[in-house]
Structure 1
Amino acid sequence: MTDVRTVQVTFDCADPRAVGLFWNQALGYQVPPPPPGFDSWEALDATLPADQQGSRWAAVDPNGVGPRLFFQRVPEPKQSKNRLHLDVRAAPGLDGDERMAALESECERLVAIGATRISRTEPAPPMEGGFIVMADPEGNEFCLD
């Protein structure tokens, strides 16, 4: 039998804290506690060389179900469409107009916290239930599904 592995999803970004806080709000995630010996992440950050301060951030599912998200600062801006993206399950089990209304509602909430709406694909049964393509505050694409 093969061992099952867990995954961490890593985002390259210019502002790890800002992108991480967006995804906390988007997914209901939270900031993990700082390592032993530190009262806060800011206290740990203060011990790092100036060029490394603010270079990393993390978000975790408070229920321990979803993958850990890790955000790392990179010097270059985003260049093109993601080759991998997240599907945020905002309307599981819903179909047709009810599904699209739930996706639109979640889209509005995410736009209010910094996301950008890119496009909407209408349902086309039996293969396509419909979805909305969005981007986080730094342009990383994701779908509301």
Structure 2
Amino acid sequence: MRFVTSSFVAGARFAQAVGEAIGDRTPELRIGSAYVDVSCRDQSTADRISALAVEHGLTAEPTAVAQLEIGLDTADPAEIGPFWAAVLTGSTDSFTGSDVIDPTGRVANLWFQGTTPHEPLRQRFHLDLWLAPEVVPARIEAAIAAGGKVVYDEEAPMFIVLADPQGNKVCLCTSEGR
């Protein structure tokens, strides 16, 4: 979540309060001149951080939240995972068996979606864009206005698949329903 701050110093104070309040839960924080971005893995920690933000007079800005992941369809992740880890992060150690995760956070995560072997090859890459749930409807509307279409929404709100005019796909993903 992004929280709007009045200054870098206010953001640093909030970050310190988060660290003191949640202990070893280790969220990721990024402080800018007028914001603090916070991401964490569990809902109770997120709720506590949101409460701290209110106590510090900060405003949540869900439209500023986005995280891009790249999915690669493959029948054999073990065959190609080390290559992608080496290319993206410089080390095959970044391949987890199902994902390539850059420990520095500089490169988007690459995950491997299982598929059956097939010829000819189908689409291999697709994008997963993680957004705040309340932002998704506006993104869909904008994508449709730009010539795209919804091609799959049976698992909404977890994710909705859109395609561009040439059929290239992107999944708009949220934490809802997971």
TM over 0.5: no
Q: With CA pairs under 8 Å and 6+ residues apart, which has the higher RCO, 1 or 2?
A: 1
Query: Which is richer in helix?
Result: 2
TM-score by length of 2: 0.29
| Greater strand proportion | 2
Rg comparison, structure with higher value: 2
